[in-house]
Structure 1
Amino acid sequence: MNTITFGDGNSGFQAGTIHGLVSTEFHYYPASEQPETPPNPSILIPFGRDGDFVKREELIDQIEHSCGRPGSRTALVGLGGVGKSQLAIEYAYCIRERSSDTWAFWIHASNSARFEQSFRDIATRVKLPGRQNPKANIFQLVHDWLQDEKKGPWVIVLDNVDDPSFLKLPGPNIEAAAKTIETSNQRPLISYIPYCQHGSVLVTSRSRGAALELVEHANIIAIEPMNEKDALQLFQNKLGQSDNEACTIELAAALEYMPLAIIQAAAYVLQMRPRYSLQKYLDEFRKSDRRKADLLGRKGGGLRRDAEAKNSILITWQISFDYIRETRPSAADLLSLMSFCDRQGIPEFLLRRRNDCTRGDGEQSHRGGTNDMGDGDEHNNDADDNESIDSSSDSDSDSTAQQSNYSNNDRFENDILTLRNFSFITANEDRTTFEMHRLVQLATLEWLRAHDVYEKGKHQFLVRLCAEIPVGEYENWTKCQTLFPHAQSVSAQRPASKESTKEWATILYKAAWYAFRKGKGIEAEDLSVRAMKARKKIFDKEHEDVVWSKAMVASAYGLRGRWSDAEELEVQVMETRKKKLGEDHPDTLTSMGNLASTLWNQGRWEAAEKLLVQVIETRKKKLGENHPDTLTSMANLAVTFWNQGRWEAAEKLLVQVIETRKKKLGENHPDTLTSMANLAVTFWNQGRWEAAEKLLVQVIETRKKKLGEDHPDTLNSMASLASTYRNQGRWEAAEKLLVQVIETRKKKLGKDHPDTLNSMNNLALTYWDLGRLEEAKTLMRHCVPLLQAKLGANHPNYSSAAETPAGWET
């Protein structure tokens, strides 16, 4: 049992594709990271202190009393716009004033993407070692820092927890994980905010039910509208002393003493002075009462599910928005654009060029992607096709005409200032992103519907986002990460028009590509399938957009181990491209390469090799020997040599590919690392275990730095290293590494994914080597039926796994 071969399927690596999401607890610190002096305690809140804040004494006392208890968890619950977040902000600043050794942090908890970003912001502020690795387990890093009493007391504001379901699921890809993965034994996100005596948590939520999932009933503080005294004080802070107190009292009552409504009304009056007054505002508000039921009954009737105060706020926003539309159309256009975004983390670059994209004619350019097979017990797969949009177009005439005397920058800043003055948006302290209240977005969208410009506004947003979101290649990941929440948000908003649907489908396609490259198979599948279905409805079945979408869905299927489904689509793509483009077209060759990859994963190695040889010969003639696509095919062919025992030939080919990729792509490029990992596996199969180990360690360290500790490729190399340890008789080390790989693969791929099962199979072999015979038999008996169900009885990996228990019984 000391050595086995690849053909037996128990060689310590599994040929397959890694999918799903992973949350590991490795902490890798890049060698280049310099030691930093720990900062002094400070406040990390993306909002400045409000000089006009009205201190509601009773509420402040309640908050301070509840949050003052060691290890407390308190929730502020109330209607949107009632002032929960403002109270939390004021409390945090008060804590800092009283105790300069206390940290104050702000965590956005409206969704998993923003939750993760807040953790990254904390890691940056406290200068956590390892944070500069963009794919490190940032949750564990921050958790461990918070847990350490030596770091000092802290308070966390967990803002906008309206749907806490994602906090109870593992990893950042929560919605997709909830659909397919059992989570009972997995660590939830909320657990990364530790219970400890030196830290307290203050939650804000619109839902009492949501709050009860995070705090005890006794620790919920209900935030109601202001009393009359406080509402009048807020009006005075914003407008100065009024000479018509009766009108102010009436207006405060009409606004139901809601702080946000009062702030917006005051901003509107200030903007229109001296030709406007509180009385005129009150008169207009009263007139719109009859409009209120009408507006809320048009398509947006779902808004009635909220309390009446919420509806009154909506009408207030409508009045202010009408004024902005009349006096500064470009600011109204900007607000319309922002209303289609995810409400948090709206990047400035997405807004500044909003007038550059009004055409949306679907003009696209594409290039093919290719696959790398192997990498030990894994298979590395690139997306089939990429696409982008030429976003140059005429500017928005309405906005440009009225701002012709200003530069683009002046116009943008003035538009932003207008929206901030009306409290419709908040500029974050990072100076590059903005936020909106959810109800502001809903009110704006309702206004667009009421004026029959909703679809027009959505189209302009889709064109803008489509032009900005890049393809999902490694070099674009930073921008993709910023825009991915906005692509996710729009994925549920399929437009009505054909032209808008084209842009919408392309956004989903690009987002799926990014999810695919990040190893998030569930999201990649969901987004790519939506894009494919949309394109099928508006294009002919052989239209290039439909073909590209099919290829992306096939890649997502492959990532999830659905190789039969992937094969079916890849055959369709290949045949269509042969017919439409010709057999030697680069896109056709890419499809053939992808199909070969899928065949290899299915254990059909001879068919895969035959197809790859054909692809290589054609690519050499058409593209040249050093073209990246040619190199990929050569690397894949080297992997097929493994199955024939042609180790020297595989080594020679891989060395050639590695050297060329180092020159063309760089030593740390993901494709170069994949070839290096495959070479390490070749060394392993030659019995050159020390050489294999040395190369794998190098690959793992670089992948942790470049891709992240929980990236599928990093896990693949770890599994290969475990196999190397096992063949050197270092069984304890192999066991430790395999257990880690299995646990993360269970979370990222699922308990019955082929790659998870292959790792469990290897762990069973390691147990046998350690003399833990019953554990080995039990685990193998568990794996074999599942492997048969997933791979089929004819797959080599299943066959060898099925033979092993029989051999142990003799």
Structure 2
Amino acid sequence: MLTRSPRPPRPDDRRGFEIAIICALPLEADAIELLFDHHWDGDGLPFKKAACDPNAYSTGVIGCYNVVLVRMLGIGKVHAAVAASNCKASFPNVKIAFVVGVCGVVPFKRNGEEILLGDVVISEGIVQYDFGRRLPGRFVSKDGLLDSLGRPNQDIRGVLAQVKGIKGRQRLISEMTRYLNILRKKPELHAEYPGPAYDKLFEASYRHSEEQKSCEQVGCDDKLVTRRRLQVTELIPAPAVHFGLIASGDSVMKSGEDRDREFEARDVVAFEMEGAGVWDILPCIIIKGACDYADSHKSKGWQQYAAATAAACTKAFLNYWVSSFDQDVNFESSLSLQSQDSPYQNETAHAVDKRQMEPVFVVPFSKNSLFVGRHDILERLQGLLFEEGRQKIALIGLGGIGKTQVALQLAYWVKMNKQDYSVFWVPALSHASFEHACMEIIYACSIPTADSDNAIKAVRQYLSSKRAGKWFLVVDNADDAQTVMGSMGAESGIYRSLPQSDKGRILFTTRYRKVAVSVAGRNILDVPAMSQGEARSYLKEALIREISLDDPVANHLLTILTHLPLAITQAAAYINENQISLTRYVQLFENTDRDRIELLSAEFQDDTRYEQSKNPVATTWFISFNQIRKADELASRILMFLACVEPKAVPQSMLPKGESQQQLTRSIGILCGYRFLVTVEEKTLAENHPSRLASEQELAIAYQVNGHIAKAVELLEHVVKVQETTLAENHPSRLASQHALAGAYEANGQITEAVELLEHVVAVEATTLVENHPSRLASQHVLARAYQVNGHIEKAVELLEHVVKVQETTLAENHPSRLASQHELARAYQANGQITEAVNLLEHVVAIRETMLAVNHPDRLASQHELARTYQANGRITEAVNLVGNVVAIRKTTLAEDHPDRLASQHELAGVYEANGQITEAVELLEHVVTIRKTTLAKNHPSLLASQHALAMAYEANGQIEIAKITHHDSHHSTRLQEHMKQTGRSQKQ
């Protein structure tokens, strides 16, 4: 966020507003006004309006924009057109109008997607469905070129394209949910969710019998249509966002049959009464909450909640709007950088000098509304920096412990309480990110500089001068010693580019004690873990669903997350997005290592972290672990060793030996510096805190989840080797490591090794664990999967039928382990020629996973992928193309290009293309898959060989016989194949 004050400055006059929000009903306008971040009304003289303008206006701030709220005098197109025209006269620089409120909706979109009450619809276009000629017995709409309202302008279409993307929609819904939670807590708004029992959809032909009475009064309790989204959760369903055409007219749609006819004829998603009146006067977007199904059973019970969801969505949507005024500000800044030959030099210089005296605020994040606690460390920072006058302080702590959030809270505290200080923020992620932040400071302060190459130097010189006044600078994520301090004798380190001034204060955040000591000397503060009370309060704030502070499940969840703020944020985001209970999340977390790592690897939206940085908890440990591996090989080996033993006090004499005692001391110091260890006298203590998440076995599983199979095998072989010499044959940790290694072997194409190891694990567990023990069933599951790959299909079917039978008597229908086993059994059925059984079982798995998992969840995509394969085997090619095509599209946006799952779905899509006669598309896709797999897999890896074989068959089907022969022998002719593919000029990009 780049601002010169806590909010955009108050406009000088009515020309300073470019965003209007138009509402027809008081309850709609009230919801918007309660989301204002600041009200200009009452803060200074009121803004006047044009002569004869009867509109009622409220002015204020939403996010970083000055907005004017228009309260219409009545409902309908005419009132809307009058309100928009008068608004345009009074506020001539309005560039976009948002028509916000409530509407009626169609219950099902063309693709079968449900729209529930409380969901939000956003216009992609508008249709005047009641504009036309009423002829005897029929109505003929006028939809000629001159009669239609046309499509939105390019700016609006561009914003809609961004918001409709997967990432954009996820962020929009996340922000909307946050703002909705604020409104629901406003008692005066009465915006609580009415409850799923009141979300009733009647068959279109079932009419409400008495106009003036409610459904309860006349007994409308028949002919209900099933709503799947309402059945899958006992919690409040998170409102969804839908895009499409909106029907606008002067009459209220109160007929289910007419609603469906308009839907079939025009593919509209909603009905409202104001949009058409605004559309021709101001560029506009309609954002409305669903309060009824546009049928005769209409009631007002949902209006307050629907108005709140629409208002929350509008505030979230504004994050995507790019203000033309921002461009004007940058243009004005550029004037100050004109050459001294400019005839306006003196005036510009005077303006620059004046602006340089004003404190500025340049921070890339908005204030964290969920921040709780941390009073002690904030008070210590405030005292050290602003009372004792320490010029440099370093915050040190684990990745995810909340260093950045503490620094962000302090930055906003300085803004509000030290208003003579400018506040700046620079990330030390890389030299490039540091330079970009310096450019932001240059723009904010109008610092003269010739080009971006001098940005760092210019900022240093300016902040070191008296002209800059007092300032506070945060240097965030100073984790990499080479990036921060530079190489020996080099001038490339960020630290050497920082300003020096008696009036300046610098706060560093880092994971690495060596960096902290280098930049701040003894002025170091450790960021502790959250207390139990702080963690409970934070979880309560982050969750949509209300929880009690003494909820035992919540306390247990916080314990297994070790009170780590980033882990709590991630867990809350997962729970909110997937609408699951705390108990369900705990079950997933404690189910298997893979489940836990997948949860910790899940991406989530967080506007208080960098877009280019990775949010997941697991990723923070990858970063620290990889930095240790690069910095010190012995430290890496010590960490691997400690991952294989209990996290108790371990004598230094047991640790892997270095070349000297000094080397061992240095390596232990590095691990302590990264907070993986603490030392107690002569012993080294591996702390039982979040760094245990980075243990070697779990890190290996995380590598495998993220597609780095060879690294996973290497790490797990080390774990198993150590445990086989230190633990009994039936020790759970030893068996778990062998199980994990077998899974990695399978993923790496080492099927024989996987089968041998799993048969051993299954045999041992059969003598020590009961039949329905989760670990025993999990090992049998993985062994059956390995049998399939090894060609022992009947063994796989027999073993999986046993696993599924046991789980069907012990686990709920939607339990992840039960679904995973059914998924695997379906694969085995298909391999065994039992296609009908495979289709039935997979359709069951897909149906359940689609109701409980996010659209990009790996398990949901995997079952859809497998169902597409089965459809192909069953001759249902069109269904297969659609299903696997969707999987490929989603994985392309969420997985790396060389991720095994992404490549597997592309391979499968190519096969379906070929079966569908789309040979050219199949060849192009398989060429891409083969090219990538040849760079990541061994020559004899089954997946590579399968893709080469499929490519050869596709070449043959395409009439390319010669190259097909080459491909059949590709392990010996890779150079010839690559040369041919270059000559054909086929694109490898999919």
Query: Under a length normalisation based on structure 2, what TM-score does the superposition of the two structures give?
Result: 0.41
User: RCO greater where, 1 or 2, for CA within 8 Å and sep 6 or more?
Assistant: 1
More helix by share: 1
- Which structure dedicates a bigger proportion of its chain to strand? 2
